[in-house]
Amino acid sequence: MRRQRVIGGLVGLVLAAGFVTAVALFIFPTNARREHRPQFGPDESQPIGQTHVGRTREQLLIELGEPTLAGPWQIGLPSQDECEKHKGLETLEWHWPSGTFLASVYPIDGRWVCFNSYWVPKGCILD
């Protein structure tokens, strides 16, 4: 009888902990919700790459709005081959308090297409 109570109590604790965790995840907003931006992955505490590869510049602007900064630089430290392959590229940057999203686009048949993208949380550096 005592064993059943102990097991029942443990099961109850596990269910209660699961419920509290689920409620916390749905009630407490993520940085993405607070900052009115898309969430780039389940764990945004680490850099997340290649989430927007293949999207056009227009699609990026619709999803993210106007970039904070844009210019002809690569993301991180690319190889010489990468630099040669994507001549004429432009990197777009969007900044929020929790981090930066970068997307590099280059022209293909008259359309600007993303070939590299990264979410970089505040305090992280890409090499």
pLDDT at 61: 97
Which pair of tokens denotes residue 76?
């991180």
Q: Between these two residues, 11 and 88, which has the higher pLDDT value?
A: 88
Residue with tokens 């022209």: 107
Domain made up of 37-127: CATH architecture: 2-Layer Sandwich (3.30)
Domain ranges of the chain: 1-34, 37-127
Is residue 127 classed as helix, strand or coil in its secondary structure? coil
- Kindly indicate the confidence band of residue 6, based on its pLDDT and cuts at 50, 70 and 90: low
Amino acid letter, 73: W
- For 15-39, how does the pLDDT look when each residue is reduced to its tens digit (9 = 90+)? 776 665 655 445 555 778 888 899 9
Residues 6+ apart with CB under 8 A from 85: none
pLDDT at 90: 96
pLDDT at 87: 86
Q: Where are the beta strands (DSSP E) in the chain?
A: 48-49, 69-71, 90-96, 99-108, 111-121
- Report the first-to-last Cα separation within the chain, whole angstroms: 61
Asked whether the beta carbons of 38 and 63 are under 8 A apart, the reply is yes
- For 60-116, how does the pLDDT look when each residue is reduced to its tens digit (9 = 90+)? 999 999 999 999 999 988 888 888 888 899 999 999 999 999 999 999 999 999 999
